[in-house]
Amino acid sequence: MKYLFSFILLYALIPINAQVIGIRDTILMGSKFKITLVDQDSIAVEKSINRAISEMVRIEELISDWKSTSQVSLVNQNAGIKPIKVDQEVFDLTERAIYFSEITNGAFDISFAAMDRIWKFDGSMEKLPSETEIKKAIEKIGYQNIVLDKENSTIFLKKPGMKIGFGSIGKGYAAEKAREYLQNLGIAAGIIDASGDMTTWGNQPNGDPWKIGITNPFNRNKMADILTLKNAAVTTSGDYEKFILIDDIRYSHIINPKTGMPSTGLTGVTVIGPNAETCNGFSTSIMVLGKEKGLALINQQKDYAALIITDNGSVIKSKKYRKIKKKLMN
């Protein structure tokens, strides 16, 4: 699923200029998160990490479709019945997701969540869903059937059985909100790693920028690239960690909303840019679109670029990759 990881030089753990680094792993949104913060001392950094986690838990309670009391779950429970009033940030997140659907012609679609009824990537699947099951699920997919009422801040799913889910951009959004929250508290530097959806700001205590390594799944001993980032985001979508294996064929957890089948052709897509939520929207979209259409999409973006690893191990960089990579170092 993800193959991004961050690494911090060991000497950065030594307090310099009355600053220390604190690192904590936790589970949120069903995934592993890693929070790395720079603060004035060990007590302060632990308190700041607690605040970051609290902010991301707040978001999880709003948008996790597997929590029955979340606003997104209430929207899903009332599909085909009535609109549901939601908080402004849930409405805005949904609106941005629909924008991605429009620019990708449906390759990205938060209503693909209806597929979770027939595709299970928890080790329980022993056979592929039938064509009939896939066809019935596809009938419930379609961002065009998500009705947004800006004046009343409501979301309505036209078809009974429809579902929306933010597994594709929700973790990136949570990371960005945590970063924003911490910066408002005066935290000068850190990394929020939401299971590979990462946002960074500031420098390590010794003044060095953060360094992010992108592993090549075809050669774990060699990096596909090393990023030096400051005030930037990087996300990776991939198929080699979360998948099912049936009849010796690997099926990715990233589903094409139009076909109801796992995406093919690409092993991983890393996107760099200023915002983790947007990066993740592009990385997921490119996995579904494939190499040619995916590159055409990302090459149109002013502030975002992609590194693509194909199923045969080729590493391809979008046109502005080097330029944007250099820009994100500053």
Same domain, yes or no, for 118 and 86?
A: yes
Among 14-18, 122-126, 242-246, 256-260, where is mean pLDDT lowest? 14-18
Q: How confident is the model at residue 96 (pLDDT cuts 50, 70, 90)?
A: very high
Residue of 231, 225, 249, 229 lying closest to 239 (CA atoms): 249
User: Rounded distance, CA 286 to CA 146, Å?
Assistant: 23
Q: Give me the number of domains the chain comprises.
A: 2
CATH code of the domain in which 247 resides: 3.10.520.10
Boundary of a domain, candidates 157, 185, 214 = 157
Q: Terminus-to-terminus CA distance in the chain, angstroms?
A: 29
For residue 148, give both structure tokens: 């947004």
Q: Does 164 map to a domain?
A: no
The answer on 222 and 321 residing in a single domain is yes
Which backbone phi and psi does 277 adopt, to 5 degrees?
A: -60, -45
Q: Are residues 234 and 90 in the same domain?
A: no
Q: Give the confidence band of 15 by pLDDT, cuts at 50, 70, 90.
A: very low
Here the tokens at position 262 are 């796992």
pLDDT tier at 54, thresholds 50, 70, 90:
very high
Q: Which pLDDT value is given to residue 217? A: 86
190 and 138 fall within a common domain? no
Residue 305 lies in a domain: yes
Tell whether 179 and 303 lie within a shared domain: yes
Mean pLDDT, residues 154-170: 94
Question: Do 22 and 96 reside in the same domain of the chain?
Answer: no
Q: Is 168 annotated as a binding residue?
A: yes
For 193-239, the pLDDT digits (tens) are: 998 899 999 998 888 899 999 988 888 788 999 999 989 999 999 87
What is the percent of the chain with per-residue pLDDT over 70, rounded to a whole number?
94
The answer to whether 164 touches 146, Cβ cutoff 8 Å, is yes
Confidence of residue 3 (pLDDT cuts 50, 70, 90): very low
Contacts of 64 by beta carbon, 8 Å cutoff, 6+ apart: 29, 30, 70, 72, 73, 166, 170
Burial class (CB in 10 A: 0-12, 13-18, 19+), 280: buried
- Under the banding of pLDDT at 50, 70 and 90, the label for residue 319 is very high
Q: Is 162 among the domain residues? A: no
Q: What's the pLDDT band for 125 if we cut at 50, 70, 90?
A: confident
Query: 163 lies in a domain?
Result: no
Judge whether residue 240 has pLDDT over 80.
no
Find the CATH number of the domain harbouring 77: 1.10.3980.10
* Per-residue pLDDT, 18: 60
Report the pLDDT averaged over residues 118-142: 87
